[in-house]
Structure 1
Amino acid sequence: MDSSSNEVVLDLSPMIKIYKDGHIERLIGSDIVPPSFDPTTNVESKDILISKDQNISARIFIPKLNNDQFPNQKLPLLVYFHGGGFCVETPFSPPYHNFLNTIVSKANVIAVSVDYRRAPEHPLPIAYEDSWTSLKWVVSHLHGNGSDEWINRYADFGKMFFAGDSAGANIANHMAIRVGTQGLQGINLEGIVLVHTFFWGVERVGSEATEKSEHLSLADNLWRFVCPTSSGSDDPFLNPGKDKNLGRLGCKRVLVCVAENDSLKDRGWYYKELLEKIGYGGVVEVIETKGEGHVFHLFNPNCDNAISLLNQIASFINHSG
């Protein structure tokens, strides 16, 4: 056996390992569950193809509706971007499928969970471009003549939200900036929800100054791995403080969720400071979950803190500004 087949050249545990012979081992996020009707939440899901050429798809979720009582009911539209460091996980992973079932039921929304292409096979900025393509596909349903009947019939484009966790929250932020700078005709992006966002930078903020060096280097190394053409950790895609368009967020409300034991926590607070400093005209709220780590709610969804976080996100969506 060729020794290069088991020689690791880049170890980004607990997510991914790259071997000398070029093969990739994804350590998490490869399990998938089919779309279904979930009797616990009364939410139905299905998979759709957004772009055959680019292999972009999505899973759509809809709550059980009383069409007899409300035949023309419209629901807020949530577009969700999953996390996983831009290189692992999909909307079809059990944690994401289950989370979307729950948030769709709790907030009473229709949701589109985007399956963007992942690094390293598809390095950044491909995930951002796929996400923008997906948004344009969603908006093609604005006048009720798109390819998906659920979105045509039930989506309220006057109450649109973007959300994501970790790398997906990073994407959600950039999609909101693109709405603000390029526009999506006919929609109202009411707000964005950024959960444990993968933001970073060269200069340490807050508790990062005393963080273990391996945690700091993981973030640096992961970014260079998924975005090999990047200038580094101060890339505007990763460090919002370096993004000249940050103040042009195309929404009026932002919910930032951080976790006390997450090494990315202070980046969430710093993001709020940045928006206030540059004169963002909307409302920014930060909620911090005590005693928890990065994306705890996906892997321990029934704990009190996860239920509380879910309730706060649903409340944010259902509170029109």
Structure 2
Amino acid sequence: MDSSSSEVAQDFSPFLKIFKDGRLVRLMGCDVLPPSRDPATDVESKDVVISKDDDVSARIFLPKLHHPTQKLPLLVYFHGGGFCIETPFSPPYHNFLNSIVSKAHIVAVSVHYRRAPEHPVPVAHEDSWASLKWAAAHVGGDGPEEWLNRHADFGRVFFAGDSAGANISHHMGIRVGTHGLPGLDLRGIVLVHPFFWGVERIGSEAQKAEGVGIVDNLWRFTCPASSGSDDPLMNPAKDPNLGKLGCERVLVCVAENDLLKDRGWYYKELLDKCGWKGVVEVMEAIGEGHVFHLLDPDSHNAVSLLDRIASFINHS
């Protein structure tokens, strides 16, 4: 047997490993749940194809309706996973979307974008923008997906995501502000533990050298063409379009024990100073780590996070 078949060339545990023979093995985020009617929340879900050629799709979630023609706020969700693992079909994301759709009583589109390293960043961002244009094609009520035609209120649209998905949500908000998306009124974005970074250390990052190295390496791995950690894709402070964010409200959720916590607070500081005219709020979960709400969804802090997001959407 060729020894290269078992020798690791790049180890990005706990995400994935690449072997010297070229094999890529994802170590987590590979489990899949089918769409269904969730017995706990009575939320129904189904999968749709957005671009067959590019393998972009989505899982759509619809709550129990009060009447057959009811219009509901639309949430477009971008999953996390360092741009390289997880899908909308992974149990933590499927279950979280069921919960937020039920709690906030909204329609949700959870986007399945292509992942690195097979499809390096910014492919995920381009796929996400294509997904938003697909969603906006339903504004007149004659798009390809009947749930959106009948029930999505395009005057009340929100983007949300966690970690890498929060990074994508931010950039989609920038694109709405700079390019526009006719017929779609983006009311706010929710960034949960956003995956932002930079060359200059801020806050507690200087005391966490090992974690800093992991983040630096992961970014280079998922975006090999990047200029580095100060790439505007990773560092909002370096983006000249930051003040053009295309919504009036932002909710940033951070966790006390998360290496990325200070980046979330810094993002608020940047928005407050860049000329953007909206309002940004920060919610910090004490004693918690990165994406804790997906790992322990029934915990007090996870329920509080869910409640805050639902409140943010429903009080627009």
Aligned residue in 2 for 1:60: 60
Q: Work out the CA distance in 1 between the residues paired with 2:2 and 2:102.
A: 51
Aligned residue in 2 for 1:25: 25
1:116 is displaced (CA, Å) by 0.1
Matched, 1:163 2:184: no
Equivalent position amino acid for 2:268 in 1: K
Equivalent position amino acid for 2:158 in 1: F
Equivalent position amino acid for 2:19 in 1: Y
1:267 is displaced (CA, Å) by 0.1
Aligned residue in 2 for 1:93: 90
Q: Work out the CA distance in 1 between the residues paired with 2:229 and 2:298.
A: 35
Equivalent position amino acid for 2:285 in 1: T
1:2 is displaced (CA, Å) by 1.0
Q: Work out the CA distance in 1 between the residues paired with 2:284 and 2:275.
A: 23
Superposed CA deviations along residues 183-226 of structure 1, whole A, max 9, x for unmatched, are 00011100000000000000001011111x22001100000000
Point out where structure 1 has 5 or more consecutive residues left out of the alignment: none
Per the alignment, in what secondary structure is the counterpart of residue 118 of structure 1?
coil
Q: Work out the CA distance in 2 between the residues paired with 1:317 and 1:40.
A: 22
Per the alignment, in what secondary structure is the counterpart of residue 181 of structure 1?
helix
Superposed CA deviations along residues 119-177 of structure 1, whole A, max 9, x for unmatched, are 01111111000000000000000000000000000000000000000000000000000
Point out where structure 2 has 5 or more consecutive residues left out of the alignment: none
Aligned residue in 1 for 2:299: 303
Matches within 5 A, 1:189-228: 189-211=186-208, 213-228=209-224
Matched, 1:144 2:141: yes
Aligned residue in 2 for 1:272: 268
Q: Work out the CA distance in 2 between the residues paired with 1:22 and 1:217.
A: 24
Equivalent position amino acid for 1:268 in 2: G
Instruction: State the number of aligned residues.
Output: 316
Per the alignment, in what secondary structure is the counterpart of residue 76 of structure 2?
strand
Per the alignment, in what secondary structure is the counterpart of residue 258 of structure 2?
coil
Per the alignment, in what secondary structure is the counterpart of residue 31 of structure 1?
coil
Equivalent position amino acid for 1:226 in 2: T
Equivalent position amino acid for 1:88 in 2: I
Matched, 1:153 2:150: yes
Equivalent position amino acid for 2:26 in 1: R
Per the alignment, in what secondary structure is the counterpart of residue 190 of structure 2?
strand
Aligned residue in 2 for 1:129: 126
Q: Work out the CA distance in 1 between the residues paired with 2:218 and 2:73.
A: 34
Between the aligned residues of both structures, percent identity stands at 72
Structure 2 length-normalised TM? 0.99
1:66 is displaced (CA, Å) by 2.3
Matches within 5 A, 1:6-21: 6-21=6-21
Aligned residue in 2 for 1:84: 81
1:21 is displaced (CA, Å) by 1.1
Per the alignment, in what secondary structure is the counterpart of residue 66 of structure 1?
coil
Superposed CA deviations along residues 32-78 of structure 1, whole A, max 9, x for unmatched, are 000000010010000000001111000000001122xxx43110000
Equivalent position amino acid for 2:86 in 1: E
Matched, 1:44 2:44: yes
Aligned residue in 2 for 1:250: 246
Superposed CA deviations along residues 3-43 of structure 1, whole A, max 9, x for unmatched, are 11111121111111111111111010000000000010010
Aligned residue in 1 for 2:225: 229
Equivalent position amino acid for 1:142 in 2: V
- 1:110 aligned to which of 85, 96, 107: 107
Q: Work out the CA distance in 1 between the residues paired with 2:159 and 2:267.
A: 17
Per the alignment, in what secondary structure is the counterpart of residue 221 of structure 2?
helix
Q: Work out the CA distance in 2 between the residues paired with 1:287 and 1:11.
A: 33
Superposed CA deviations along residues 228-272 of structure 1, whole A, max 9, x for unmatched, are 100110110000011111110000000000000000000000000
Per the alignment, in what secondary structure is the counterpart of residue 38 of structure 1?
coil
Equivalent position amino acid for 2:78 in 1: F
Q: Work out the CA distance in 1 between the residues paired with 2:133 and 2:222.
A: 24
Equivalent position amino acid for 2:161 in 1: G
Per the alignment, in what secondary structure is the counterpart of residue 164 of structure 1?
strand
Per the alignment, in what secondary structure is the counterpart of residue 60 of structure 1?
strand
Per the alignment, in what secondary structure is the counterpart of residue 120 of structure 2?
coil
Equivalent position amino acid for 1:84 in 2: G
